[in-house]
Amino acid sequence: MKNDWKNRLGMVFSTNPDFNYEYENTEEEMKTLEPQKQNLKVLLDKKARKGKTVTIIEGFIGKEDDLKELGKVLKTKCGVGGTVKDSKIIIQGDFKEKISTILNEKNYKVK
């Protein structure tokens, strides 16, 4: 791993000449679990959204790119907008049943 100071922002200076900073595992090293091993939760939410309903999918374990790809598929199949942030997929509208069906077809475990 390269010696990038941005990855060590919380580090305090060390006077030990043999000190070697250990980086935390990054997201790039994380492997995406197979759909059968994923336990996804599909929730409805209206809080802090001016009364508008959104469907939230959380619990995905894996790379950010794979999460974005799943979010893109769900937004396309529902025909609405949405976003992927904080390891959650947020779909505009009440699509809890439809999303649960789509995820089951893709072999994800859905609660």
Res. 110 pLDDT band, cuts 50 70 90:
very high
Closest CA to 77 of 104, 102, 43, 49: 102
CATH 1.10.620.20 corresponds to the domain 31-110 = no
Res. 27 pLDDT band, cuts 50 70 90:
very low
CA distances from 73 to 23, 40, 56, 94 (A): 34, 15, 14, 16
Triad 102, 45, 55: Cα angle to 5°: 20
**What residues contact 72, with CB distance under 8 A and at least 6 apart?**
none
Helix axes 64-78 and 96-105, enclosed angle (nearest 10): 120
Q: Which two tokens stand for residue 109?
A: 């475990």
pTM of the model: 0.72
Query: Is the confidence at residue 5, as pLDDT, over 90?
Result: no
